[in-house]
């Protein structure tokens, strides 16, 4: 049974999530503020955190940063903030997905299932396949239709970061930090160049990418 921690100070939303998640077999804990949320996360095993950003005692971005100081638990932000900058800030702080209010319950449940599935599958995967592409993570080898494709070290590093976060929106600064390191968060030109090279080598139609998707103004998403 997967354990979900719901953090939201709106009692109606917290109650609706509690009812719907329990009805589908999840174990649910709820918190109405950041202090309670951090205490519950530290004291009870949790598989996913569903987090509102507008908490009464602390901004949700600070909660994400606090969690990321000691855990890699998936964090799904559920917020009324719909501006791209808010989404980017949450993702840069360490969130894994972002859903805006008002939201559809079925979409939220699907995103939760996807986070749980990725957490279980990707961490132990030795290969990742999509389309005609096979990425051998252990052997650091990529084939397309059985033919090996040579990647530069930077292309390989970018690819591995993307395939380890399938379906997740990764901000430009997050990708730059993970691939190029601190100090490169504003080098978007580098990122666009290497994304284009990955598409040219791995996409069936590089000009109409299927696997490496651009989220305008926010970042990129790997869709296997």
The band of 8, judged by pLDDT with boundaries at 50, 70 and 90, is very high
Please, is 89 exposed, middle or buried when counting C-beta atoms within 10 Å of its C-beta (0-12, 13-18, 19+)? buried
Q: Buried b vs exposed e over 196-224: b needs ≥16 C-beta within 10 Å? A: ebbbebbbeeeeebebbeebeebbbbbee
Beta bridge partners of 51: 7, 77
- Residue 132: per-residue pLDDT: 94
Distance (Å, rounded) from C-alpha 73 to C-alpha 94? 10
State pTM to two decimals: 0.61
Which two tokens mark 80?
A: 């009324």
- What is the residue-averaged pLDDT of the chain? 89
Pick the CATH number of 3-121 from 3.40.50.2300, 3.40.190.10, 3.40.50.150, 3.40.30.10: 3.40.50.2300
Question: How many CB atoms lie under 10 A from the CB of residue 34?
Answer: 21
Please tell me the predicted confidence (pLDDT) of residue 174. 82
CB proximity list for 70: less than 8 A, separation 6 or greater? 42
Mean pLDDT in residue range 172-195: 83
Helix (H, G, I), strand (E, B) or coil at 30: strand
- Average pLDDT of 38-54? 90
Q: In the prediction, which pLDDT does 21 show? A: 94
Fold of 127-222: Arc Repressor Mutant, subunit A (1.10.10)
DSSP 8-state symbol, 178: H
Domains 3-121 and 127-222 share a fold: no
State residue 45's pLDDT score. 82
* Interval 116-140 mean pLDDT: 77
pLDDT band at 119 (very low <50, low <70, confident <90, very high): low
Could you state, in order of their start, the residue ranges of all structural domains in the chain? 3-121, 127-222
């Amino acid at each position: 049974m997967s354990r979900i921690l719901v953090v939201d100070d709106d009692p109606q939303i917290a109650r609706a999530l509690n009812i719907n998640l329990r009805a589908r077999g999840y174990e649910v804990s709820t918190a109405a503020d950041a202090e309670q949320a951090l205490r519950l996360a530290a004291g009870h095993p949790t598989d996913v955190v569903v987090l509102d950003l507008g908490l009464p005692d602390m901004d949700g971005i600070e909660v994400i940063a606090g969690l990321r100081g000691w855990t890699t638990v998936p964090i799904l932000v559920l917020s009324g903030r719909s501006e791209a900058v808010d989404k980017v800030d949450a993702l840069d702080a360490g969130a894994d997905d972002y859903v805006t209010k008002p939201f559809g319950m079925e979409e939220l449940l699907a995103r939760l299932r996807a986070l749980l599935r990725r957490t279980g599958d990707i961490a132990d995967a030795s290969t990742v396949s999509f389309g005609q592409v096979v990425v051998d993570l252990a052997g650091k080898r990529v084939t397309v239709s059985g033919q090996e494709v040579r990647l530069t070290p930077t292309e390989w590093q970018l690819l591995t970061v993307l395939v380890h976060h399938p379906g997740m929106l990764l901000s430009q600064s997050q990708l730059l930090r993970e691939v190029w390191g601190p100090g490169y968060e504003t080098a978007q030109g580098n990122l666009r160049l290497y994304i284009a090279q990955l598409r040219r080598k791995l996409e069936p139609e590089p000009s109409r990418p299927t696997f490496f998707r651009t989220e305008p103004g926010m970042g990129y998403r790997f869709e296997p």
